[in-house]
């Protein structure tokens, strides 16, 4: 659809920045629309973050993984998915810094993000096992890739039921979300129905924002790949860092707006939910790839990238469980630890790639 192979580096970079601006604008509006939909439709905040915000902000990854597989670039497809998974968790540190006064892990008022993070770890573990043991084709698709589909559906089903059941409620407040009671969603819905745009109009606006993110996301992925080719950087590190960051821009803009609205469970639902959706993209990449199972072509680089995503997710899970409120450089200790871990992981990955991807 978009071909920048014959464009100059400066033209490609300009297109990259313009697409990024559109993604940012659409992402901030998307969080606003979904915040109102949450109230009007009486939906769970963390589930909306997973299913709607997470699903929509996964559109650039869908475009990148599918197009890369279609043209036969399996490493770019896989490393985009795995790179986005780790980078998305690092984005929580940005949200933490925006919050400033309290640690993000101390102000989340719902237990659902804990479940979502655990499901992320489950899916990452399956991917790591697949890479370590190798994948075999079944009806033209990798057996491990096929196993990810029911696990993905199970994650959606479990999360949708979990938030409604209110299995447990955190005690106390720290200046952020109100730690929910069963009556609060009803009050939000009643207030939302009295003012603001209708639910139908909000849905239309959400679809328009999603379309902008999809188109601009494709441009981001295409220009990111073209920049990689023009600068001579390898597909491994490009897929992990450059394209992974580019396709994470919707998450950056949406979590910025969600933090401003004090929808902290939505922030984590967006990030953990996006990673759940992204795991499914491995199956999509397998369907479109003409060669052997994509996970069969993954090696040590991809295995370490998967373990890095698992590790940074575990760090935030510890923070959510411990709920400490100490900060350093305007962010909670878990966020700072995630940044240090991610940088160290990049050093290891650069060493594995031999400095050339």
Residue with tokens 């237990």: 111
Domains in the chain, CATH or no CATH each: 9-352 (1.20.1420.30)
Q: Is the pLDDT reported for residue 357 higher than 60?
A: no
Q: Across the chain, what does the average pLDDT equal? A: 77
Which DSSP state fits 171?
-
Rounded CA-CA distance 111/199 in Å is 27
* pLDDT tens sequence across 20-47: 888 878 877 877 787 777 777 666 555 5
Q: pTM for this one?
A: 0.77
Residue with tokens 């597989």: 69
* Residue 101: both structure tokens together: 């006064």
Write b or e for each residue in 69-83: b if 16 or more Cβ atoms lie within 10 A of its Cβ, otherwise e: beeebbbbbbbbbbb
* Residue 151: both structure tokens together: 């696990």
* pLDDT tens sequence across 223-259: 877 776 777 655 555 545 666 666 667 777 777 777 7
Which DSSP state fits 330?
T
Of 225, 221, 234, 219, the closest CA to residue 5 belongs to: 225
* pLDDT tens sequence across 173-188: 555 554 444 334 444 4
For residue 142, the cross-strand partners are: 137
Mapped to the 3 state alphabet, what secondary structure does 68-105 carry?
HHHCCCHHHHHHHHHHHHHHHHHHHHHHHHHHCCCCHH
Look at residue 164 in the predicted model and tell me its pLDDT.
66
> Which position has the higher pLDDT, 9 or 56?
9
* pLDDT tens sequence across 109-168: 677 888 889 999 999 999 999 999 988 888 888 899 999 999 988 988 888 777 666 666
For residue 137, the cross-strand partners are: 142
* pLDDT tens sequence across 48-79: 656 666 677 777 777 777 777 777 777 777 77
């Amino acid at each position: 659809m978009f071909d920048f192979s014959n464009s100059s580096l400066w033209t490609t970079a300009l297109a990259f920045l313009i697409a990024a601006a559109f993604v940012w604008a659409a992402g901030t509006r998307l969080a606003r629309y979904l915040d109102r939909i949450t109230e009007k439709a009486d939906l769970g905040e963390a589930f909306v973050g997973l299913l709607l915000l997470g699903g929509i902000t996964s559109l650039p990854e869908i475009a990148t993984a599918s197009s890369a597989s279609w043209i036969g670039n399996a490493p770019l497809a896989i490393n985009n998915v795995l790179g986005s998974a780790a980078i998305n968790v690092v984005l929580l540190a940005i949200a933490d810094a925006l919050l400033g006064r309290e640690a993000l892990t101390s102000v989340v008022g719902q237990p659902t993000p804990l479940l979502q993070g655990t499901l992320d770890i489950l899916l990452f573990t399956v991917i790591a096992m697949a890479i370590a043991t190798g994948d075999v084709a079944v009806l033209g698709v990798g057996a491990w890739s096929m196993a990810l589909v029911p696990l993905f559906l199970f994650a959606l089903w479990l999360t949708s039921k979990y938030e409604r059941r209110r299995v447990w409620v955190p005690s106390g407040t720290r200046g952020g979300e109100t730690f929910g009671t069963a009556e609060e969603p009803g009050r939000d819905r009643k207030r939302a129905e009295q003012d603001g745009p209708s639910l139908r109009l909000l849905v239309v606006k959400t679809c328009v924002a999603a379309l902008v993110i999809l188109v601009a996301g494709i441009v981001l992925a295409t220009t990111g790949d073209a920049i990689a080719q023009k600068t001579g950087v390898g597909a491994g590190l490009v897929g992990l860092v450059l394209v992974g960051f580019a396709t994470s821009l919707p998450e950056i803009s949406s979590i910025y707006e969600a933090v401003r609205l004090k929808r902290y469970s939505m922030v984590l639902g967006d990030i953990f939910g996006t990673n759940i959706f992204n795991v499914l993209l491995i199956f999509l990449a397998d369907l479109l790839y003409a060669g052997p199972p994509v996970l069969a072509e993954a090696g040590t680089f991809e295995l370490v990238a998967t373990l890095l995503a698992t590790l940074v997710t575990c760090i935030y899970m510890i923070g959510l469980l411990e709920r400490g409120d100490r900060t350093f450089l305007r962010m909670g200790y878990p966020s700072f630890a995630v940044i240090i871990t991610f940088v160290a992981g990049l050093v290891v990955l650069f060493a594995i790639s031999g400095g050339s991807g």
